[in-house]
Amino acid sequence: MSSAKLFAARQGRGTRVSAASLDRLRVAPAPYQTRICARCGRETTFVREDAAGSWYSCVECGRYA
């Protein structure tokens, strides 16, 4: 392992979390997120539309992300 990778590992960076590991931790997706909407171009709030957390809709224009 290179020294840069070792340093990143010690700092907690470079570790990836998979969806399966989040499921084991029982982490729920956030009920809302702030994003830039591709349709209206505004930085706005997206609200979670389903329990699985895979569909969020823009508060301004209603586009799904």
Domain positions in the chain are 3-58
Residue-by-residue DSSP string for 11-65: HT-S----HHHHHHHTPPPPSEEEEE-TTT--EEEEEE-STTS--EEETTT--B-
CB 33 within 8 A of CB 56: yes
CA distances from 22 to 18, 19, 25, 26, 27 (A): 6, 5, 5, 6, 6
Given this model, what pLDDT does residue 56 score? 92
2-52 per-position pLDDT tens digit:
565 655 566 555 555 555 655 666 667 788 899 999 999 999 999 998 877
Given this model, what pLDDT does residue 48 score? 92
